[in-house]
Amino acid sequence: MTDTVSSSRATRTPRRRAARAGTADATLDAAGRRAAGLGLVAVTAAALCGSVLLAPTPASAAPVEPEPEVSDAPALSGDVSYVMAPAGNGILDDGDALTVSFVVDNGTLEALAAVDVSLGLADDALSSRSSLTSWLDGESAARTEEIGTTSFGATLSGAEQTGRLTIDADDEALADRQPGVYPLAATFTVGDDEVEVRSAVTVPDDEGATPLTVIVPITAPAIDTAVLSAAQLEELTVEGGSLASQLDAVAGTPVVLAIDPAILASIRLLGSSAPPSAREWLDDLQALPNARFALQYGDADVTAQVEAGFDDLLEPGSLTALMRDEDFPVPAERPEPDATDTPSPTPSPSFSDTGEADATDDDLPSLEELLDVDAAYPEILWPATGTGGASVADALAGGGDGTPPLLLTASDLVSGGGATASARASATDTQVLVYDSDISRELHAASVQDDTTLRAEPLAAASAYLHVAADDAGDDPLLVTVDRAADARSRLALRAAILAATQAPSTAASTIAGLIATTPAPVQLLGGLPDEERAYAASDMHADEVGLAQFATVLDEPSLLTGPNRNEILQVLGNAWRGEDTWPAVVAEQRMGTTRTIDSVGLLPPSTIQLLGSTSTLPVWVRNDLPYPVNLTLSARPDDLRLDVEDTVTVVASPASNTRIEVPVEARIGNGEVDVALELRSPVGVQIGSAERVEVYVRAEWEGIGITALAILVGGLLIVGLVRTIRHRRRGGPDASAAASDTAPEADR
pLDDT of residue 202: 98
pLDDT of residue 610: 81
Q: What distance in Å separates the CA atoms of residue 30 and residue 35, rounded to the nearest whole number?
A: 10
How confident is the model over 31-44, as pLDDT tens digits?
Answer: 333 333 333 333 33
How confident is the model over 296-352, as pLDDT tens digits?
Answer: 999 999 999 999 999 999 999 999 999 999 999 976 555 555 545 444 444 433 333
- Cα of 317 vs its chain's centroid, Å: 15
**pLDDT class for 480, splitting at 50, 70, 90?**
very high
pLDDT of residue 352: 38
Best-predicted range by mean pLDDT among 212-226, 321-335, 505-519, 704-718? 212-226
Question: What three-state secondary structure class fits 500?
Answer: helix
User: Distances from the Cα of 657 to the Cαs of 595, 602, 606, 636, 653, in angstroms?
Assistant: 19, 11, 17, 22, 8
Nearest to 101 by CA among 86, 116, 89, 122: 86
Q: Which residue has the higher pLDDT, 431 or 701?
A: 431
Nearest to 519 by CA among 388, 426, 408, 435: 426
| pTM (predicted TM-score) | 0.82
Q: Looking at residues 36-58, what average pLDDT do you find?
A: 34
How confident is the model over 639-655, as pLDDT tens digits?
Answer: 888 788 899 999 999 99
Q: Which residue has the higher pLDDT, 52 or 324?
A: 324
Q: What distance in Å separates the CA atoms of residue 494 and residue 488, rounded to the nearest whole number?
A: 10
Q: How far separated are the first and last CA of the chain, in Å rounded?
A: 155
Q: Which residue has the higher pLDDT, 134 or 745?
A: 134
CB 382 within 8 A of CB 408: yes
According to DSSP, the β-strands at 256-259 and 210-218 are parallel
User: Given a cut of 90, is residue 204 above it in pLDDT?
Assistant: yes
**pLDDT class for 712, splitting at 50, 70, 90?**
confident
Question: What three-state secondary structure class fits 138?
Answer: coil
How confident is the model over 230-282, as pLDDT tens digits?
Answer: 999 999 999 999 999 999 999 999 999 999 999 999 999 999 999 999 999 99
Q: What distance in Å separates the CA atoms of residue 165 and residue 1, rounded to the nearest whole number?
A: 7
Return the bridge partners of 686, or none. none
For the chain, state the CA radius of gyration: 41
Interacting residues of 201 by C-beta distance below 8 A, sequence separation 6+: 86, 90, 91, 92, 98, 121, 181, 182, 184, 460
How confident is the model over 679-706, as pLDDT tens digits?
Answer: 999 999 999 999 999 998 877 655 555 5
Q: What distance in Å separates the CA atoms of residue 446 and residue 440, rounded to the nearest whole number?
A: 10
How confident is the model over 447-471, as pLDDT tens digits?
Answer: 999 999 999 999 999 999 999 999 9
Q: What distance in Å separates the CA atoms of residue 273 and residue 165, rounded to the nearest whole number?
A: 55
Residue 446's H or E segment, with its range, is helix 437-447
Please state the domain extents for the chain: 2-46+73-203, 210-329+363-522, 601-699
Nearest to 80 by CA among 149, 4, 17: 17
Of 90-104, 352-366, 454-468, minimum mean pLDDT range: 352-366
CB 567 within 8 A of CB 227: yes
> Which residue type, as a one-letter code, is found at position 622?
V
How confident is the model over 102-155, as pLDDT tens digits?
Answer: 999 999 999 999 999 999 999 999 999 999 999 999 999 999 999 999 999 999
Interacting residues of 314 by C-beta distance below 8 A, sequence separation 6+: 296, 300, 305, 542, 566, 569, 570, 573
Q: What distance in Å separates the CA atoms of residue 410 and residue 438, rounded to the nearest whole number?
A: 9
What architecture is domain 601-699?
A: Sandwich (2.60)
CB 375 within 8 A of CB 296: no
Which fold would CATH assign to domain 2-46+73-203? Answer: Immunoglobulin-like (2.60.40)
User: Given a cut of 80, is residue 499 above it in pLDDT?
Assistant: yes
User: What sign does the dihedral 723-726-729-730 (CA atoms) show?
Assistant: negative
Q: What distance in Å separates the CA atoms of residue 280 and residue 260, rounded to the nearest whole number?
A: 17
Return the bridge partners of 674, or none. 696
Q: Looking at residues 542-564, what average pLDDT do you find?
A: 98
- Average pLDDT of the chain? 85
Exposure letters 444-476 (e unless 16+ CB within 10 A, then b): bbbbbbebebbbbbbbbbbbbbbbbbbbbbeeb
User: Given a cut of 90, is residue 45 above it in pLDDT?
Assistant: no
Q: Looking at residues 151-170, what average pLDDT do you find?
A: 95
CATH 3.40.630 fits 210-329+363-522, yes or no: no
Q: What distance in Å separates the CA atoms of residue 181 and residue 192, rounded to the nearest whole number?
A: 31
Q: Say whether 601-699 and 2-46+73-203 share the same fold.
A: yes
Q: What distance in Å separates the CA atoms of residue 128 and residue 533, rounded to the nearest whole number?
A: 39
CB 569 within 8 A of CB 545: yes
User: Distances from the Cα of 526 to the Cαs of 387, 410, 437, 529, in angstroms?
Assistant: 10, 10, 14, 10
Q: Looking at residues 596-619, what average pLDDT do you find?
A: 89
User: Given a cut of 50, is residue 406 above it in pLDDT?
Assistant: yes
Question: Residue 710 CB: number of other CB atoms within 10 A?
Answer: 10
**pLDDT class for 284, splitting at 50, 70, 90?**
very high
Nearest to 621 by CA among 639, 607, 609, 610: 607
Residue 306's H or E segment, with its range, is helix 302-307
pLDDT of residue 404: 79
Residue 281's H or E segment, with its range, is helix 276-287
- Cα of 16 vs its chain's centroid, Å: 24
Sheet of 193-203, strands arranged across? 144-152, 115-122, 180-190, 193-203
> Which residue type, as a one-letter code, is found at position 57?
T
3-state SS, one letter per residue, for 410-442? EHHHECCCCCCCCCEEEECCEEEEEECHHHHHH
Residue 202's H or E segment, with its range, is strand 193-203
User: Given a cut of 80, is residue 355 above it in pLDDT?
Assistant: no
